[in-house]
C-alpha cells in the first residue's frame, strides 16, 4: 500500500525528497515563496501546489504531515522575535488544520532550529508542545546533527514527531556515539580543513574541522552567505559553490537551478538551500516512522518549561527527558577536502579583511593565532587598500 505525505512550509522539498526515497508519495505541497515553488514544480510537476497556509481550508487524508515552519523569528542569527513573530507564528495554522481533520494520520513531523529550545525561556517549544497536547497527541523531539549521516556540515536541528496512534519515542530512539572531533579554536591540524563564516560580526558559530558550519539562507539584506573554508596545508581560503551546498544538504547538484528562471539573482539559491530540511535526515526519519511502534505509554511528569533539553517526550499529561545525543547513527563523515566537487572560489580581499578586523577586535570571536596570521598574510597578498595594508603590516 502506498504511503502518502502532505507537506506544509515545503521549501525546496527536503522532507519530501527524503520521504520519497523511503517510499512515500507526496499529495500536496504548501509553499508561498516563488523561487521555492519553481523548484518544487520542476521536481514534482504532477503534485498539487498551493500558496498560502493561512488560506488552506483543510488537509487531504494522508499518512504523514510535515511542517518545517519558518525559523526567522527563532534563529540565533535571525530576528529573535519568538514564536509569536510574524513568520514563525505561521505554525499556528498547522494546529488549526490538525484541529479540523476528518482523518487520523500516523504521524505529524515538525523541524526547526535548536535555538527555539532556549529563546525566551523555551516559550516557542512550550507553545508547540502544548498545542500538540491539547489535541491529544503524544510527542517526542530530538536535536539531530546532519554529520550523523556522513555529510561534512555541522547542522543541528530539532526533529519533533507526534502521533495519536504510535509511541513517538520509538521513532527517535536510535543511538550512536558522536564523532571525536576536536574543534577548539586554538588547535590547527595542518592536514585538515576548517569551515567558518566570514560574515560573522559580534558573535559567531565558530569553525568546524573537516566540515562547514550550518549552511545559512543569507544576510538580512539578501546577500548570499556562503561559508568559507581554510586549507592550511594548501594555503587556500575560499567558498564552496552553490552546487556543493546543495549536496551538503543531501540534494543532487543543480536541484535549485530552476529558481533562477525568472531572472532571480544567485542569492536566491543560497537562501533556499540554507532554509531547507536536510534530505538525509528526512530519509532516516521516514524509515524510522515505518517501523512497528506500540501505542504511547505515559511519560514521567518531571519536565517543566524553560531551557529544554536536547531530547524529550510527552504523553497522557506527562513530560519527561530523553537521554539521546545528536547522533542517531554514525555514517563515516567525508572530509570537506574530498567532498567538494569544485575548487573553492577564492575569498575576496574585502571579505577576508572585514572578517579579520572583527576577529581581532571582538572577544566572542575566538580563532587560532595561526589562522589569524594566515589571514593577515592573505590580505597583504591580495589587497589593494593601502591604508589597511599599512595597518596590517604594523
Question: What's the pLDDT at 77?
Answer: 60
Cell of 357: 578586523
Q: Residues with Cβ < 8 Å from 74, sequence gap 6 or more?
A: 80, 82, 83, 85, 88, 112, 113, 115, 116, 119, 124
Beginning with the edge strand found earlier in the chain, give each strand of the sheet holding 318-321 in spatial order. 48-50, 24-30, 3-8, 64-67, 107-112, 156-163, 138-145, 311-315, 318-321
Q: How many CB atoms lie within 10 A of CB 67?
A: 26
Start-to-end C-alpha separation, the chain: 72
Question: What's the pLDDT at 311?
Answer: 94
Per-residue pLDDT band for 188 (boundaries 50, 70, 90) equals confident
pLDDT digits (tens, 9 = 90+) for 319-351: 999 989 999 999 998 889 899 999 999 999 999
pLDDT of residue 180 exceeding 70, the answer is no
3-state secondary structure of 245: helix
What's the average model confidence in pLDDT over 227-237?
Answer: 94
Q: How many CB atoms lie within 10 A of CB 189?
A: 12
* 97-101, 173-177, 306-310: range with lowest mean pLDDT: 173-177
Domains of the chain: 3-178+276-321 (3.40.50.150), 194-252+261-275+333-393 (no CATH)
Cell of 311: 531530547
Question: What's the pLDDT at 386?
Answer: 62
Strands 156-163 and 208-209: unpaired
Per-residue pLDDT band for 190 (boundaries 50, 70, 90) equals confident
Angle between helices 386-393 and 369-382 (to 10 degrees): 140
Residue 15 to residues 5, 66, 250, 251, Cα–Cα distance (Å): 10, 7, 11, 11
Question: What's the pLDDT at 101?
Answer: 96
Question: What's the pLDDT at 221?
Answer: 45
pLDDT of residue 36 exceeding 80, the answer is yes
Prediction pTM value: 0.92
Per-residue pLDDT band for 264 (boundaries 50, 70, 90) equals confident
Angle between helices 349-361 and 386-393 (to 10 degrees): 40
State residue 24 phi and psi, 5-degree precision.
-90, 150
The residue that leads in pLDDT, 218 or 50, is 50
Contacts 24+ apart (CB under 8 A), 32-36: 33/272, 34/262, 35/256, 35/259, 35/264, 35/268, 35/269, 35/271, 35/272, 36/10, 36/11, 36/12, 36/259, 36/272
Mean pLDDT, rounded, of the chain: 88
Give the CA diameter of the chain.
72
Can you tell me the distance from the alpha carbon of 260 to that of 267, in angstroms, rounded to the nearest whole number? 10
3-state secondary structure of 361: helix
What's the average model confidence in pLDDT over 204-211?
Answer: 80
Known active-site residue 71:
yes
The residue that leads in pLDDT, 206 or 308, is 308
Question: What's the pLDDT at 165?
Answer: 93
Can you tell me the distance from the alpha carbon of 184 to that of 335, in angstroms, rounded to the nearest whole number? 18
Q: Where are the beta strands (DSSP E) in 147-264?
A: 156-163, 194-196, 208-209, 228-231, 236-239
Cell of 287: 524509515
What's the average model confidence in pLDDT over 189-195?
Answer: 89
Question: What's the pLDDT at 220?
Answer: 46
Question: What's the pLDDT at 70?
Answer: 81
What's the average model confidence in pLDDT over 73-91?
Answer: 70
pLDDT of residue 171 exceeding 50, the answer is yes
Cell of 93: 495554522
Choice among 30, 62, 71, 379 that is catalytic: 71
Per-residue pLDDT band for 385 (boundaries 50, 70, 90) equals low
What's the average model confidence in pLDDT over 374-389?
Answer: 80
Q: Residues with Cβ < 8 Å from 297, sequence gap 6 or more?
A: 167, 315
Per-residue pLDDT band for 151 (boundaries 50, 70, 90) equals very high
Cell of 393: 603590516
The residue that leads in pLDDT, 284 or 209, is 284
Amino acid at each position: 500500500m502506498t504511503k502518502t505525505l502532505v507537506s506544509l512550509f515545503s521549501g525546496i522539498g527536503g522532507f519530501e525528497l527524503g520521504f520519497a526515497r523511503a517510499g512515500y508519495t507526496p499529495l500536496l505541497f504548501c509553499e508561498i515563496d516563488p523561487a521555492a515553488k519553481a523548484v518544487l514544480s520542476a521536481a514534482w510537476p504532477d503534485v498539487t501546489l498551493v500558496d498560502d497556509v493561512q488560506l488552506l481550508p483543510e488537509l487531504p487524508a494522508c499518512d504523514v504531515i510535515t511542517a518545517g515552519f519558518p525559523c526567522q523569528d527563532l534563529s540565533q542569527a535571525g530576528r529573535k522575535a519568538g514564536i509569536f513573530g510574524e513568520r514563525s507564528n505561521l505554525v499556528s495554522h498547522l494546529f488549526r488544520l490538525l484541529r479540523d481533520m476528518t482523518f487520523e494520520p500516523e504521524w505529524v513531523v515538525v523541524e526547526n532550529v535548536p535555538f527555539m529550545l532556549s529563546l525566551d525561556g523555551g516559550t516557542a517549544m512550550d507553545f508547540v508542545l502544548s498545542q500538540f497536547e491539547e489535541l491529544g497527541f503524544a510527542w517526542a523531539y530530538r536535536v539531530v546533527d546532519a554529520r550523523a549521516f556522513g555529510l561534512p556540515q555541522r547542522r543541528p536541528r530539532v526533529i519533533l514527531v507526534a502521533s495519536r496512534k504510535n509511541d513517538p519515542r520509538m521513532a527517535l530512539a536510535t543511538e550512536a556515539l558522536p564523532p571525536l572531533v576536536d574543534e577548539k579554536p586554538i588547535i590547527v591540524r595542518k592536514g585538515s580543513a576548517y569551515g567558518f563564516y566570514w560574515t560573522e560580526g559580534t558573535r559567531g558559530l565558530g569553525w568546524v574541522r573537516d566540515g562547514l558550519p550550518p549552511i545559512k539562507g543569507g544576510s538580512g539584506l539578501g546577500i548570499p552567505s556562503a561559508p568559507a573554508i581554510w586549507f592550511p596545508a594548501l594555503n587556500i581560503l575560499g567558498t564552496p559553490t552553490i552546487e556543493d551546498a546543495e549536496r551538503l544538504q543531501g540534494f543532487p547538484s543543480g536541484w535549485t537551478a530552476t529558481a533562477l528562471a525568472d531572472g532571480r539573482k544567485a542569492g536566491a539559491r543560497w537562501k533556499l538551500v540554507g532554509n531547507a530540511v536536510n534530505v538525509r535526515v528526512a530519509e532516516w526519519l521516514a524509515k524510522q516512522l515505518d517501523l512497528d511502534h506500540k501505542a504511547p505509554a505515559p511519560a514521567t511528569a518531571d519536565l517543566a518549561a524553560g531551557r529544554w533539553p536536547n531530547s524529550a517526550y510527552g504523553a497522557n499529561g506527562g513530560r519527561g527527558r530523553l537521554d539521546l545525543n545528536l547522533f542517531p547513527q554514525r555514517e563515516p563523515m567525508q572530509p570537506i577536502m574530498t567532498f567538494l566537487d569544485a575548487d573553492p572560489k577564492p575569498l575576496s580581499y574585502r571579505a577576508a579583511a572585514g572578517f579579520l578586523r572583527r576577529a581581532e577586535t571582538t572577544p566572542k570571536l575566538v580563532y587560532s593565532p595561526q589562522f589569524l596570521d594566515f589571514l593577515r598574510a592573505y590580505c597583504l597578498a591580495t589587497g589593494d587598500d593601502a591604508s589597511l595594508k599599512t595597518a596590517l603590516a604594523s
